Amino acid sequence: MHRHPHVLNASSNLLGICFVIIGALKFTKSDAGSFADETAWVAALMFLVSITASYIAIRNGNANKWKNIVADVAFFCGLLALSLSVFILAFT
């Protein structure tokens, strides 16, 4: 199954959302009161790993399946971290 282009597109969009959250917290000076920006940075890092692994998988074809697995796992971890960041932001 060729999922890596979809993971690449979704990760790119969610990376932008992470940067919006981080920028909004910095702009309103709300970043010191919670861990929402730190978890958003973790999510951004995971999405960046997912983007990189997915891009390498596209460039090399399906020669190695481990690139797709890395992209999927990093994407899922980024989703969890981004969700946690939003929950922290909502409840603080």
pTM above 0.95, yes or no: no
What integer pLDDT is reported at residue 75 of this predicted model? 95
The tens digit of pLDDT for each residue in 10-25 reads: 999 999 999 999 998 8
Among residues 50, 8, 17, 51, the alpha carbon closest in space to that of 36 is found at: 17
Element (H, E) at 90: helix 66-91
